Chain A
Amino acid sequence: MIGAGLRWLDRLIAMTGKEFKQLFRDPILLAVLFYFFSADIYLAANGIHMDLRQAPLMVLDRDQSATSRELIQRFRMPYFDLRGELFDAHQAQALLDRGAVLAVLSIPPRFQRDLQAGLSVSVQFRVDASNAILGTLAISYAEEILARFRQEQALDRLGAGIQLQAVPRIEDRHRVYYNPNQNNPWFMSISELLTITTMLSLMLPAAAAVREKERGTIEQLIVTPLSPLQILLPKILSMGVVIVSGVAASLFLVIKPAFQLPIRGSLALFFLVTALYVFATAGLGLFIASLSRTFGQVVMLVILLMMPLLLLSGAWTPPEAMPEFLRRAMIFSPLAHYIELAYGILLKGAGLAVLWDSLLGLILLGSLLFSFGLWHFRRQFD
């Protein structure tokens, strides 16, 4: 009994060794792995910003007074880039149409005089909202700038000597948790790392399995005393080890030094969860491998599967922006659980007491996907 178990293990180890050898003899694959875990993550984290920076703005100042200029100069870098003055409304419309400016601020004539006379004045802010993300942010920042200006003007009106604390109003005190400066690379680097982990866990085991089909060596493997599990498990084991090591290298050698990412939770838990996720996704990869005949088809199916998986799990867009039914359906996505766990452990410093439900979801979905992939691939051997 023990002898049989040992032989089983012996074969497994031999096959895993074979997979490692094959991988390390493929320089192109190694180069791709290196690129994804280093340069790709660095570029994505550094280059992708979903915030408003130096948005081109022009002003139509019909007042040309000290007060109007004071308001205008508050619309400045890093959010707005003041590109100069306009002199008529048609010109403004034409520039907005062409997309040459994102917004035009118009100040009415007699702005300063009316303000000093205690009248109510309106300032117009026209935004090109054809890109809704930019439109939302530009309006949000303009409101913020004007709110401050308005407050100062209102205090002037209430009379000299009145302090802000001496009127009944609500003071905003925002505290942003986990990423207090809303440092974008912290978010993007992890998001990209999860994306790459997903892609490679789908692709590498599937590629290793399909290569045997493509080259016909699968026939040789079938006539050996190896069981289908002994053929497939080493592929997943070896690729899993490679991917988890890649994640570790990327986290410690790229993300941490380049973006000062604080790692607040337990690293052991993070790597355990990553290994679990890699296995779950590898199951899906085996399913892909059983549908494909060539590596080319594997790549295409992976690309097809990746898009909905990434977009509907909250990797790139906030789940709060999804329709209600999709938000509910997210519990069926292993990536959604992994995202919750990864950010939870790395940035929030949360432990199992908080994250147990996501971990349970990942384990359940993972075993389901893994056994499904294994079953589907084994069917081909019969």
Chain B
Amino acid sequence: MDRSRLLASVKRIQLVASRLVENLLAGDYRSVFRGPGMEFDEVREYVEGDDARLIDWNVSSRMDAPYTKTFREERELTLALVVDVSASLFSGPSHRTRREVVVELFALLSLAAIVNNDRVGAVLFSDRIESWVAPRKGKRHALRLITDLVGVEPRGVGSDLALALRTTGEALKRRGVVVVLSDFKTSGYLADLTLMGRRHDVIAIRVTDPVDRAFPVTGLIRLDDPETRRTVAAAGYSARFRASYEAYREQQRKTWLAECRKRNIGTLDVSTDQDPAAQLIRYFEHRKAQ
């Protein structure tokens, strides 16, 4: 993609995303990611009605009066976006719509964070870390992130989610929000996901296509997997083949869902035939209600 087309594309995405964020998403975002994170503020004299559990006995004994610790809610969040740019989502023109959905979700989330004066960082990964941008504030930074993602030409084809999670975990010093954008057609990431879930607030967004649920009725068609480079002859006309494919996909989805729930990780399925913004808003409202 040449530079002018890239910029135009980013501009368009940014415009659409900004409007959506300002009108709908910003409030939800804040209310969902308020989090239990409390930051120690100061110690002051105990007054009637304060929580007795919060009395700081060390200070109290020295001062001969009851002192209590005060906390303020951590208002400033760090959002880390872990984005799968592997071939199954990003390579070739064949996966354009999957890619579009990822970009749109990315733009929405990063702009929502900026509007709320949060810091945003991004890890783009394939079978390696394609790029890592440390969390910072500001609109210019967000635009840079979006430009990076839109213009990325992944060097790797696979998707090593475990590596990406490990890198993100090492880079985030304080507790933050981690959003994983991937199709989760990868393996071996569960241990790192557990670690990540203990330290951070994690949301897994799975980007899929209708053909990831059911195979269309077609003649024999040779498919090659862009990541594993395996080829199979798909007998789309065979009911047995389609049933087997559908069962496989459904089982994949269920496993993913169960593993995330077990680790208390939020899950969102976004299909390319759905509006990503609407899905995101619905998800936030659902989280808020809980």
- Asked if A and B bind, the verdict is no
Question: Measuring CB to CB, which residues of chain A are less than 8 angstroms from any residue of chain B?
Answer: none
